[in-house]
Amino acid sequence: MQFPMYAGIGLHIKYSEERYQSQTVADNHGVKPAVLQERHFAGVRLYTWQINEHVLLIKLNYLLPQTRNRRVCLNLAMAHATSIQYEPVAEIGGGAYGTVYKARDTESGQFVALKSVRVQTDQNGLPTSTVREVALLRRLEQFDHPNVVRLMDVCATQRSDQETKVTLVFEHVDQDLKTYLERAPAPGLSPDRIKDLMRQLLCGLAFLHSNRVMHRDLKPENILVTSQGQVKLADFGLARIYSCHMALTPVVVTLWYRPPEVLLQSSYATPVDIWSTGCIFAEMFRRKPLFCGESEVDQLGKIFEVIGLPPEDEWPTDVTLSRKNFPPLIPRPIADFVSEINEQGAQLLLNMLTFDPLKRISALNALEHPYFQDEETLTQTKS
């Protein structure tokens, strides 16, 4: 059976235990709703009930990462006109996936950030893949990680039979890292401040990766910095949500923070975010991007000017672009490009900007790097 209630409704995603189902049934005068549909997708079971003429209950059941048998139930209650709860105040940005608005939550009075995407739908409504990705991100809220922006709510409104607008509601932070760097007085951020920002960034990234969430589009604009100097990663996982079943709109994502495996259209995993973090690390010192290519090939060329042309045995075998298209360059000292960085910082940067993603340092290991030890500890270790 098809989903009959998508038109003109909002979508709210809330984390809960199995008991949510029985509570919802009890609220419906003790009448147990019939299962309208059961769908399976990549280990996920998706059930849909008709609660009444206005509300659907969707139960999303899946295995938690790093567990064998614990399953989590996410219930998605769909109700009319929930998007009215958020009143747009001002446009605060735009990107590859649409316009970002600052809005006021009319219930709490707090400011939030609204990010919308148009998703192609079929006779079954929202694609299961989109529901699954949003639900996985929504589940992260229960951990309340200090370096990850909170996804507070999700609303969906059907625009036509073929298209639904999904709006993600995030906590609002006034500035991103790009603005933070631009506002820093000359000569820029101090080495200690950069170290603190990097530590927070890697803490947030380690948390996401431990929950099997890739960012895929990490750049200064997607790293928020509060007035207290707290770093919060934003837009994590959204590239995957948007790419699942996005409506036909042109998408242009900056090349400057993309790792070689993505530029070469090879397979990739969480190390893509480490490369991007390395580019951002260098930019904090330089106050300008490290690699500014105008195309995928040009970007690769600029990367090889710094790290050298990788050996033949490290070149991915699943790509069409040949290694022979690039001159035989040798690695250059990091100090030539990031002059203010110390020895430990340069070593960490090289570990992040490693061509082979399997040899690239992880977020957890990066946090254990000597760069993050204080000078006194380093002196004691050397002696």
Each domain of the chain, given as residue ranges in start order, spans 9-171, 175-233+254-374
Task: Just give the CATH number of 9-171.
Answer: 3.30.200.20
Instruction: Report d(CA 112, CA 133) in Å as an integer.
Output: 21
Is 80 exceeded by the pLDDT of residue 296?
A: yes
Residues annotated as catalytic (active site), given as ranges: 217
Is 50 exceeded by the pLDDT of residue 163?
A: yes
**Banded pLDDT at 131 (limits 50, 70, 90):** confident
pTM score, whole prediction: 0.74
Strand partners, 87: 104
Is 60 exceeded by the pLDDT of residue 40?
A: no
For the chain, what is the mean pLDDT?
A: 75
Residue 335 corresponds to which tokens in the numbers above? Answer: 């100090």
**Banded pLDDT at 240 (limits 50, 70, 90):** low
Average pLDDT over residues 11-25: 33
> 379 or 293: which carries more pLDDT confidence?
293
Query: Within 13 Å, how many C-alpha atoms sit on residue 224's CB side?
Result: 19
**Banded pLDDT at 82 (limits 50, 70, 90):** very low
Which pLDDT does position 202 carry in this prediction? 98
**Banded pLDDT at 95 (limits 50, 70, 90):** low
Average pLDDT over residues 166-180: 90
**Banded pLDDT at 55 (limits 50, 70, 90):** very low
115 is in an annotated binding site: yes
Nearest alpha-carbon partner for 348 in 371, 330, 365:
371
Which pLDDT does position 61 carry in this prediction? 45
Task: Just give the CATH number of 175-233+254-374.
Answer: 1.10.510.10
Instruction: Report d(CA 380, CA 272) in Å as an integer.
Output: 35
Residue 137 corresponds to which tokens in the numbers above? Answer: 């991100």
Which pLDDT does position 86 carry in this prediction? 85
| Most confidently predicted of 119-128, 178-187, 275-284 | 275-284
